[in-house]
Structure 1
C-alpha cells in the first residue's frame, strides 16, 4: 500500500485513527521517525543537529576526502602511479563534471556514516571504461535480491516517483556492517537512544536560557485575582523576568503573592555532566578519539601525539581499506585486478614530532634502507641536483653501499694501499 493510499484509508477510517487522531505511524512519518525514550525523534537528517555527531561525521569524511587516492600499477619490483589509466583521474581528480574528488569522497562518507552504505552509479563509455561516478543518497536506494534468479539488484527511487534498477556492475558501493552483504545495520538507528539523549539535553539547555525564568514554579495568591490584576501580573512576569536577558533578576511580587520554585537547577540535574558524557558516547560510537572533536579532558601533552596516531591507525585505516577494496571490486575488470590497485597515501598523517622524525630518518639512512632523495620526498622537498641524493649509505663507514659490497672494508683497503705505496708493511719490486 502506497503512502497516499494509506493516508486516504486513514481519513475514511472511523476507528479513531484518522487525521484528527492519526495513527502512530503517520505521526512518526511527519515528525521524522519514532521518538526515543528521551522523547526526541531521531533520524539521519536531525541526528547531525547534535554537535558531537556533526563533528564526528565532518572529521571522518574530511580526513578520508583530503588524502591522495591514486591508482597504482604493480611492477616486478615496487609500483608506479598509473596516470595513463582512465580510472586514475576519476579517483584522484574529478569523479564527475559536478564535483571534485574531495567532494565525492566526502559525500560518500557522509552517506556511509549516517546510513548503512554509500552508493554511486558507474557511468562507462562504449569500451567499458569508467568515465564518471555519480553518488546517490542512500535513502533513495534499496538493495534487494531477485527471488527467481537470486541476483542482487539495487532499486532506486527517482525524483519523479518512478523506480529504476541498477545491477552490481553499475554500482560502486561502500558497504556497511551487518550480518550479510545486503541486510546491514543502520548506524543512526543503533545509536538513536544516545543521540536522542544528546538532542534532548541540547534542547533543554536552549529552552532553559531562551524561555524559562530562573525562578519558574508556582505562584500562590490568598484569594481571587481580578482579571485586570491577573493580566498585569502576566505582562509583568513576561516582560521583566522571562528569557536569557532577564536571568538572575530579583522577582518582586505584590498583593501577598507567594512564589514556590519547582524547576530543578541544571547543576542538580547533572545537566553539564550529561552533555559532556554524550560527547564521549558519540565519539565512542563513531570510533573517534574524543580529543579529535575538541574534548581534551583525557588528553595530555605527553599522549596527544600517540592518540593522534591511533586515530589514523584505528579510525581511518579501516575506512581506507574499505575504499581500496571497493575500487578493486567495483571499478577494475578481472584482468586489471592482476596488475592495478588503488591505495590512499597516509604518510603525512603518520608523521611524528620533528625531532623523532629526524631521528628515524637518520637510522634509516645509516642502515641503507632509504637514500636522501627518498627522505626529501617524504618531507615534500625536491631531489638533490645531479643525482647526489640517489646514493645509499651503510652504518659506521657511511660510504656508498655498492663499494662496500664489492670491495669489503674500503677503509682497510685504503690503509693497505697507502702502506704499500710508502714501502711499509710489504716488499717493493726494484
Structure 2
C-alpha cells in the first residue's frame, strides 16, 4: 500500500509499502488487524495493585468489602448444654477488642481484608504465651514466601523467620491447584481493569485537549518531510491559539481540510463502555453493582433485595472463611467446643417499623426475652425482662375445648359472685 510519494531526496520512495489487510501475506486475525493500526497489548497500561486502585470501581469494591467485614462484631464462644457462652478474658480482648498493642479490631481486620481483595491473600501471625493467646499480628503477604512440604503442610517465611501453618491465619481469595499458591482478584481481572484505565486516560486526554479529537490535515502534501512537520506545527499552533482564546474559528491554509481521526467519547459509546466496566469489576468481586454506586438497573425493590444477596452470598461466605480459619488455628482441630463467630444481624437490620414488628413477634412467641430484644436495639435491660413470654391465647393442640370450658366456668362464677 503506497502511503507517500514526495519525490524528494530524504523522503520515502514510491515503492515503500506497509502491511495491510489487502496483502495476502498478512493474516486478517485480530492481532494482525490491531497491530496494523498500532494497537497492541503494549499500548495498555501495566496493572499493579496501586494502579488498579486508581480505577474508582476497584477502589470502591475493596474499600466497601474490607470496611464492611471489619465492622462485623466478632466473638469467641463455648458450646454448652445451655447454649453458646461467650468467652471472656484475654481471648475476648484479642478477638473482639484489640488483636495487638498497635491496632484495634477494626483496623486489623480492615488491613487483613484489603490484602485479600487486592493481592488475593490475608495473613496474620498468632502470638502465644504458655498460659494463653497473647496477640495477633498482621503480615504483609507480598513479603511472605509460602511453600508446601512433602507431607502437605505449609510453611511461611517472613523476614527470614519460618512459621508453621498452625501459627498463621491464612485466608486466600482463591487457591491454586497446589493448595499453596493463590489467585488475586486484581491479577485475574487485569484485562477489565486495563480497559477501565485506558478509557480514563483517553477521556482525560480528550477533554484536556478541549474536546478536540485527533485531526488529520487533508490536501496537497508539502514538499519534503521538513515542510510536513512545519505544516503540522502551524496547524497545532492554530488549534492551541483557538483553545487558549476560547475562539471557535481558526484559519486553515487554502486548499486544505481538517478531518477528525477516531471518535469522540459520545460516538465511541464511552459512557456505556465505562459503565460496563463497573459491571465487570463488580462481577470479579461478586458484588452487586448497586454497592459500587451503579444504579443504572436499580429500582427501590431490587436495590433492597441486593442488600440481602450481599449478606447471604458474599459477606456471609467471607465471614465464614475467617471464622473457620481462626477457630482452627486458635483452638485446634478439637477446639474444646470453642469457636469464633461473627454477628451478621447488623447487616440485616431493616427500617424501624420492620425491626419493631420482628422484635415484637419474637418476644410474643418466646423466641427472645424483652431484655434480649432491647439489647439488639442497644437499649439497657429492665427488671423482670429476662423471662420468656408467650401470648395467652396460645395453648397446646387438643386443649382448646378444655380451655373454653374453663373460661365459661370462670364467667359463671364471676356472675354469681356479682
| TM-score above 0.5, yes or no | yes
Secondary structure in structure 1 of the residue aligned to 2:347? coil
Is 1:55 matched up with 2:60?
A: yes
Aligned to 2:80: 75
Q: Which of 161, 181, 184 is the matching residue for 1:164?
A: 161
1:24-423 to 2 correspondences below 5 Å: 36=41, 39-84=44-89, 86-127=90-131, 129-146=132-149, 151-156=153-158, 158=159, 163-178=160-175, 179-211=177-209, 214-220=212-218, 223=222, 234-241=236-243, 249-256=247-254, 257-334=256-333, 337-384=335-382, 386-388=383-385, 390-394=387-391, 396=393, 413=406, 415-417=408-410, 419-420=412-413
Residue 330 to residue 419, structure 1, CA distance change in 2 (3 Å): same
**Structure 2 CA distance, aligned partners of 1:145 and 1:190?**
23
Structure 1 residue 90 displacement after superposition: 1.0
Judge conservation of contact 2:239–2:250 (CA < 8 Å) in 1. Answer: no
Structure 1 residue 202 displacement after superposition: 1.3
Structure 1 residue 230 displacement after superposition: 7.5
TM value normalised by structure 1: 0.77
Secondary structure in structure 2 of the residue aligned to 1:153? strand
* Aligned residue-pair number: 372
TM value normalised by structure 2: 0.79
Aligned to 1:27: none
Judge conservation of contact 1:173–1:330 (CA < 8 Å) in 2. Answer: no
Deviations 1:280-321 (A, max 9, x none): 111011011101111011211122222111111111000000
**Structure 1 CA distance, aligned partners of 2:347 and 2:232?**
66
Structure 1 residue 361 displacement after superposition: 3.1
Deviations 1:74-113 (A, max 9, x none): 22121222122x2211111111222211111111111111
**Structure 2 CA distance, aligned partners of 1:227 and 1:53?**
42
Structure 1 residue 64 displacement after superposition: 0.3
Structure 1 residue 232 displacement after superposition: 6.1
Judge conservation of contact 1:111–1:138 (CA < 8 Å) in 2. Answer: yes
Structure 1 residue 37 displacement after superposition: 7.5
| Worse-matched range after superposition: 39-48 or 369-378 | 369-378
Structure 1 residue 422 displacement after superposition: 6.1
Structure 1 residue 170 displacement after superposition: 2.2
**Structure 2 CA distance, aligned partners of 1:212 and 1:313?**
47
Structure 1 residue 180 displacement after superposition: 4.6
Secondary structure in structure 1 of the residue aligned to 2:216? strand
Could you tell me which runs of 5 or more consecutive residues in structure 1 were left unpaired when the two chains were aligned.
1-34, 425-430
Deviations 1:93-135 (A, max 9, x none): 11122221111111111111122321112222243x3222221
Structure 1 residue 387 displacement after superposition: 0.9
**Structure 1 CA distance, aligned partners of 2:336 and 2:228?**
90
